[in-house]
């Protein structure tokens, strides 16, 4: 019926009042009120209400009556202001009075409703992934990812980088995980390896004089699954020549600030830098969450000669000062928790109570409390 649509559903606004539009999308829901039929039409931009009344032909009215959720429609109609606005959706001030209708693809009854709050198992959603990806929340995620990737590309292009693709079928190279292997048809008994990262190609490009390179690289690692690991993933890879570590850190910090400003309009201040030794001494981790706040206090020197063999024999003794809110019952729960991690117990001190003060001299105990603040 129509060669192409003129608007997306989520673009319809009050200023379009009286305009003829052509919309294509999926039926979110259909409501029959006898002489009126309302169809919420959805595409990647949002939802708009289409109305069918007695001004359309009997054939079109009966077609609208028979559609079900996820049927694909093409609707031509006139935009008008709604008499009963819906303030829960961006297009809730307007509707489209339909004049023509074409069913592009009829749907069977879907196994679950295509809505953000659908309460079905993840396995079912993955089985019908094409339906799951129609949900607005997932579509917003994918659109956001696209916008972030484009913002990164603009930043690196403005800073003299070339985006260069590297091969996916390559020779096996020593990496941190096992390779995925692809057999060669032409060379029997020989295999290609899928890249765990484009490390050697990055070095080749730098040696070739390109100086600044980046790509969104597909990487493949045959390793056990974890919460933050999967067999294949995409990473932003970049390489620079004639620079030091400060130049690399500065470039990528500026990229992150640029992306957050462009995508979310958030101004990120200059990022603090911390030497590895300081991070380990203060937080016990090389990737500390500075929002957490509980820092390690080095008690090694004040526990030397304290009389408590556990502390005296340890290469390092550190303590964390936490708010005075733990009851004895909660402390006992924490003790059982750390035992489950393979240690013998939890050394704690609270006011006049302590699990180790009786083993230490009074002076050493006072020094520990003062150091831990």
CA 320 to chain centre: 32
Q: Please report, for residues 39, 42, 102, 121, the alpha-carbon distance to residue 69 in angstroms, rounded to integers and kept in the order given.
A: 9, 10, 15, 20
Token pair belonging to 170: 């390559």
Q: How far apart are CA 296 and CA 279, in angstroms?
A: 10
CA 118 to chain centre: 20
Taken in order of first residue, the domains within the chain and their CATH numbers are: 9-105 (2.40.50.140), 165-241 (no CATH), 276-372 (3.30.1360.30)
- Binned at pLDDT 50, 70 and 90, residue 343 comes out as confident
Stretch 359-366: mean pLDDT, rounded?
A: 86
- Structure confidence by residue, pLDDT tens digits, 275-294: 999 999 889 899 999 888 88
Coil/strand/helix, residue 166? coil
Q: How far apart are CA 9 and CA 73, in angstroms?
A: 12
Q: Does residue 235 have a pLDDT over 90?
A: yes
Which pTM was predicted?
Answer: 0.81
DSSP state of 90: T
C-beta of residue 165 within 8 angstroms of C-beta of residue 272: no
Q: How far apart are CA 219 and CA 179, in angstroms?
A: 10
- Structure confidence by residue, pLDDT tens digits, 218-231: 999 998 888 888 89
Q: Does residue 324 have a pLDDT over 90?
A: no
- Structure confidence by residue, pLDDT tens digits, 327-340: 889 999 999 999 99
Q: How far apart are the first and last CA of the chain?
A: 77
C-beta of residue 310 within 8 angstroms of C-beta of residue 296: no
Q: Does residue 1 have a pLDDT over 80?
A: no
Q: Please report, for residues 309, 328, 373, the alpha-carbon distance to residue 360 in angstroms, rounded to integers and kept in the order given.
A: 9, 21, 18
Question: What pLDDT shows up at residue 4?
Answer: 81
Stretch 238-263: mean pLDDT, rounded?
A: 96
- Structure confidence by residue, pLDDT tens digits, 54-98: 999 999 999 999 999 999 999 999 999 999 999 999 999 999 999
Q: How far apart are CA 210 and CA 358, in angstroms?
A: 66
Stretch 180-209: mean pLDDT, rounded?
A: 94
C-beta of residue 193 within 8 angstroms of C-beta of residue 242: no
Mean per-residue pLDDT of the chain: 92
DSSP strand pairing (349-350 vs 318-320): unpaired
Question: What pLDDT shows up at residue 205?
Answer: 97
Q: Does residue 3 have a pLDDT over 70?
A: no
Question: What pLDDT shows up at residue 241?
Answer: 97
Q: To which residue do tokens 């009963």 refer? A: 84
Q: Does residue 28 have a pLDDT over 70?
A: yes
Percent of the chain's residues with pLDDT above 90: 72
């Amino acid at each position: 019926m129509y060669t192409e649509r003129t608007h997306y559903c989520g673009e319809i606004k009050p200023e379009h009042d009286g305009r003829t539009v052509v919309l294509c999308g999926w039926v979110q829901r259909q409501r029959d009120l006898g002489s009126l039929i309302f169809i919420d039409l959805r595409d990647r931009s949002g939802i708009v209400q289409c109305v069918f009344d007695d001004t359309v032909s009997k054939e079109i009215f009966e077609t609208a009556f028979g559609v079900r959720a996820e049927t694909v429609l093409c609707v031509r109609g006139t935009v008008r202001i709604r008499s009963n606005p819906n303030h829960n959706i961006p297009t809730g001030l307007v509707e489209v009075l339909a004049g023509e209708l074409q069913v592009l693809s009829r749907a069977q009854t879907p196994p679950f409703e295509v809505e953000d709050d659908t309460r079905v198992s993840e396995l079912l959603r993955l089985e019908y992934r094409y339906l799951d990806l129609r949900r607005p929340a997932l579509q917003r995620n994918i659109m956001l990812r696209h916008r972030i990737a484009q913002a990164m590309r603009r930043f690196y292009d403005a800073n003299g980088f070339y985006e260069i693709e590297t091969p996916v079928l390559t020779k096996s190279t020593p990496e941190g995980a096992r390779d995925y292997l692809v057999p060669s048809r032409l060379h029997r008994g020989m295999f290609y390896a899928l890249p765990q990262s484009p490390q050697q190609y990055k070095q080749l490009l730098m040696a070739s004089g390109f100086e600044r390179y980046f790509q969104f690289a597909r990487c493949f690692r045959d390793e056990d699954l974890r919460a933050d690991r999967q067999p294949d993933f995409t990473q932003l890879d970049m390489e620079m020549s004639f620079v030091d570590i400060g130049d690399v850190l500065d470039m990528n910090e500026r990229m992150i600030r640029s992306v957050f400003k462009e995508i979310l309009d958030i101004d990120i201040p200059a990022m603090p830098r911390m030497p590895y030794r300081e991070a380990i001494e203060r937080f016990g981790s090389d990737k500390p969450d500075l929002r957490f706040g509980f820092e390690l206090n080095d008690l090694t020197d004040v526990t030397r000669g304290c009389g408590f063999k556990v502390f005296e024999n340890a290469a390092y003794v550190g303590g964390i000062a936490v708010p005075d809110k733990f009851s004895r019952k909660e402390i006992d729960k924490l003790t059982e928790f750390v035992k489950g991690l393979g240690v013998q117990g939890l050394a704690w001190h609270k006011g006049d109570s302590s699990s180790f003060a009786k083993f230490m001299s009074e002076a050493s105990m006072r020094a520990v409390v003062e150091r831990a603040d």
